[in-house]
Amino acid sequence: MAEYDYDLFVIGAGSGGVRASRMAAAHGARVGICEESRVGGTCVIRGCIPKKLLVYASHFAHDFEDAAEYGWSVGRTDHAWTKLIANKDREIDRLNGIYIHLLNNAGVELLEGRGVLEDAHTVRVGDRTVTAETILIGVGGWPTLPDIPGIEHAITSNEALHLEELPRRMVVVGGGYIAVEFAGIFNGLGVDVIELYRGEQILRGFDDDVRAALAQEIRKTGIDLRVECDIAEIVKKGHHLELVLKDDTVIETDAVLYATGRAPNTKGLGLDTVGVEMNAKGAVVVDEYSRSSVPNIYAVGDVTDRVNLTPVAIKEGAAFADTVFGNTPTKPDHSGIPSAVFSQPSVATVGYTEAEARAEYGEVDIYKSSFKPLKHTLTGRDERTMMKMIVEPKSDRVIGCHMVGADAAEIIQGVAIAMKVGATKAQFDSTVGIHPSAAEEFVTMREKFVEPDGD
């Protein structure tokens, strides 16, 4: 047997790569990992964590307004963007340090630099060349921008987290997770935000009631959401930008943030030379055990474009380590994955949308609730919470739960456990609610929703 430098070499120290390398080391493997940017990857360095800190920052604006009718005189409020960014960066540095410690403590050797495959067992990292029996690709994804004139004046979520100053006006392009989250962040921080989405309704792929409810709620918060709009050209005019839309409308703004999707980070990685199969989007094609078309090369996380979420990458990384080094073949379970959008208000969802459920099961029972949250009976804020449940009538199993409203992620996480173990509507109903809460709606929805007769 050939003698390699490592049993496992991981390219990319993000959520999936770090989990896989630590677990493989715990199983006794000699492990190396390389990272071209900062250890922690998208989630820790330029994604979930800094984004959520900014969501908290932004939300205070609503809280200050809401406080008045509870008797508080908040007085004049000011926001110091540079202070927020400095504090956020300090926390990201701390987390980056923790990740490096975790690797060190696990005995994983960290190499700084971009890893490029030279052959199926050899990786070049800067001027070093290392060999490994097994290679794991965990390089994640990167924002994509459409090829239109002036696109070099646009920023992505990466730059949005490091702006030197807050612009007065911003246009956010896109209608997915990142677009609605960043539109909410900047709107809360006092920026005049226009969100442009090319389709009819934001959050494609989510339940239609969720999409409609969120669009309505974010408009109420002051975001100027415009649908069926697309930019043809961006023109820099002195200190501002002119966005020329396809219908020739011109919008003047100070910054334009594109959140138009992400692509697997596989360019220049040497995967094609080694013969690793990739799909049209450049994602590594893997089997149920995260194994690529080259038997000793595996891939986990966003680079495989399966379900692009941090906790999923972590589970894929763990399953890979158990399979290859733990003597326990494990397929990552991609069923019943809950997810949230940290828009304001937030969205969280698990299971089938109504449309998916009808396509799969034919008839389904729908339960819906839309209400003014108790908190806002005093504040006067015109915000509604929407909750929806989808039940498969033959088995009575709850197969979809969706929510738009405060704390949606915190609520849906628990619901997802119930659904994972196959809870029925009757079991939801027999559960005692926590009163007063929004969450209790999920155990008190009695009336099936009946579509009003059309005319």
**36 is a contact residue toward ligand NDP (CB under 6 A):** no
Q: How many residues does the chain have?
A: 455
Q: Which of 15, 253, 308, 369 binds ligand NDP (CB under 6 A)?
A: 308
**154 is a contact residue toward ligand NDP (CB under 6 A):** no
202/214 Cα distance (integer angstroms): 8
Residue 259 structure tokens:
């959140």
**16 is a contact residue toward ligand NDP (CB under 6 A):** no
Catalytic residue among 101, 121, 162, 435: 435
**179 is a contact residue toward ligand NDP (CB under 6 A):** yes
248/231 Cα distance (integer angstroms): 9
**372 is a contact residue toward ligand NDP (CB under 6 A):** no
Q: 180 vs 297, which CB is nearer to ligand NDP? A: 180
DSSP E strands, 291-411: 297-299, 339-341, 347-351, 365-371, 385-392, 397-404
Smallest gap from Cβ 403 to ligand NDP, in A, equals 14
**175 is a contact residue toward ligand NDP (CB under 6 A):** yes
**176 is a contact residue toward ligand NDP (CB under 6 A):** yes
173/243 Cα distance (integer angstroms): 11
Q: 344 vs 369, which CB is nearer to ligand NDP? A: 344
Facing residues of 245 across strands?
Answer: 231
Pairing type for strands 31-35 and 6-11 reads parallel
The reply to whether 435 belongs to the active site is yes
**344 is a contact residue toward ligand NDP (CB under 6 A):** no
E strand or H helix that includes residue 279: none
**226 is a contact residue toward ligand NDP (CB under 6 A):** no
* DSSP label of 442: G
Q: Which of 298, 320, 342, 367 binds ligand NDP (CB under 6 A)?
A: 342
123/126 Cα distance (integer angstroms): 10
Size of interface with ligand NDP, in residues (CB under 6 A): 24
Contact criterion met (CB below 8 Å) for 326 and 387: no
Q: 132 vs 303, which CB is nearer to ligand NDP? A: 303
**Residue 388: closest CA among 415, 364, 368:** 368
Smallest gap from Cβ 254 to ligand NDP, in A, equals 20
Contact criterion met (CB below 8 Å) for 314 and 16: yes
- In terms of phi and psi (left: phi > 0; alpha: psi -120 to 50; beta: otherwise), the region of 268 is left
Restricting to residues 420-449, which ones interact with ligand NDP according to CB under 6 A?
Answer: none
Q: Which of 146, 149, 329, 393 binds ligand NDP (CB under 6 A)?
A: 146
Give residues in contact with ligand NDP (CB under 6 A).
146, 173-179, 181, 197-199, 204, 230, 259-262, 308-309, 339-342
Catalytic residue list: 435
